Amino acid sequence: MKKLCAALILLLLLWPSAAFAQYVGTLTQIQCNKVAIVEAGTSGVQIAIPAIVGQAISICGWNITNSSTNGTMALTFGTQTTIPCDTGIKKLSPAFTVSSNSPNATQTQYATQSSIAGQALCINPSAVTFTALVWYAQF
């Protein structure tokens, strides 16, 4: 009887089994619950999401459109010394080209980039014809 129990235990231990799925990543994923809208009408660096002392901004995506010919748009985090986002700059994007027939958009379920607490999100359109939507969380 002892040999039978030992054999069963050994069989169960050696029995091939499916591996359990494992979560890879952080357990503190951030879902975005806000949208910032920047209307067309101003070119140059401007604040899209104002800084709040002690709070970080986390970005889930954006949709940038341009109602004119090609122009460029860049997104950054930073604080203001002289102009918006001129200090402690963290680039979120290169200066990408956006035309009237090819908007630039990206969006994910969870935030992919976050600022340092107390930084604003700025946009830098090269023309007054840009409009931006930014999905974000701030806390």
Task: Judge contact between 51 and 108, C-beta under 8 A.
Answer: no
Q: Which two tokens stand for residue 110?
A: 């969870």
What is the residue-level pLDDT of the chain in tens, covering all 139 positions? 666 556 656 555 555 554 444 555 556 799 999 999 999 888 999 999 999 999 999 999 999 999 988 899 999 999 999 999 999 999 999 999 998 888 888 888 899 999 999 999 999 999 999 999 999 999 9
Q: Could you give the C-alpha distances from 67 to 22, 36, 78, 106, 138, in angstroms and in order?
A: 46, 19, 27, 19, 29
Q: Which fold, 28-138?
A: Jelly Rolls (2.60.120)
pLDDT the model gives residue 69: 80
Q: Model-level pTM greater than 0.85?
A: no
**Every domain of the chain and the residues it spans:** 28-138
Q: Could you give the C-alpha distances from 40 to 43, 66, 68, 88, 128, in angstroms and in order?
A: 8, 8, 11, 26, 6
